């Protein structure tokens, strides 16, 4: 199991969750009502699953593919540790991850 801390864009709300190996980060986020739309459900045709990985955790993940890098060009609030949550598979070897959702994808309820 991987422990994941989902941090809101303003840093004021934190949700902690645990996901089994093989689970996509996007699926875990959605299962815990986090504001990641994931409109294309992992088909790499949107960028609404954009997250900013905490710098201390970024090296735990395998590198992004070229296709993922290209999709990140369309994301809101990109930083040096940005990734697409649909392209991150949790791995039991990863003890923990912290990701911030940079906003721009909140729903009408502000989540
Ligand atoms: S869900 Fe569309 S690129 Fe991740």
Q: How far is the CA of 28 from the centre of ligand 1 (A)?
A: 14
* Nearest in space to 61 (alpha carbons), one of 102, 104, 18, 4: 4
Greatest distance between any 2 Cα atoms in the chain: 36
Pocket probe mutation, ligand 1, options 34, 48, 75, max atoms within 8 Å of Cβ: 48
- Closest CA to ligand 1's atom 3: 44
Chain segment 78-98, per-residue pLDDT in tens: 999 999 999 999 998 899 999
Q: Which residues are within 8 A (CB) of 8 and not within 5 positions of it... i.e. 6 or more apart?
A: 14, 35, 100, 101
In whole angstroms, how far apart are CA 22 and each of 2, 9, 59, 78?
10, 26, 18, 25
Q: Give the nearest ligand 1 atom to 44 CA.
A: 3
Q: How far is the CA of 71 from the centre of ligand 1 (A)?
A: 8
Q: What is the pTM of this model?
A: 0.89
Chain segment 58-70, per-residue pLDDT in tens: 999 999 999 999 9
| Contact call for residues 85 and 29 (beta carbons, < 8 A) | yes
Average pLDDT over residues 3-25: 95
Q: 28: pLDDT confidence band, cut at 50, 70 and 90?
A: very high
């Amino acid at each position: 199991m991987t422990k994941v801390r989902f941090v809101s864009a303003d840093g004021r709300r934190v949700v902690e969750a645990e996901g089994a190996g093989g689970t996509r980060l996007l699926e875990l986020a959605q299962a815990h009502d986090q504001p990641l739309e994931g409109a294309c459900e992992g088909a790499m045709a949107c960028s609404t699953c954009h997250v900013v990985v905490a710098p201390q955790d970024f090296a735990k993940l395998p590198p992004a593919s070229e296709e993922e890098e290209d999709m990140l060009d369309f994301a809101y609030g990109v930083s040096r540790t940005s990734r697409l949550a649909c392209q991150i598979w949790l791995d039991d070897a990863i003890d923990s991850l912290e990701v911030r959702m940079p906003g721009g994808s909140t729903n009408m309820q502000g989540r």
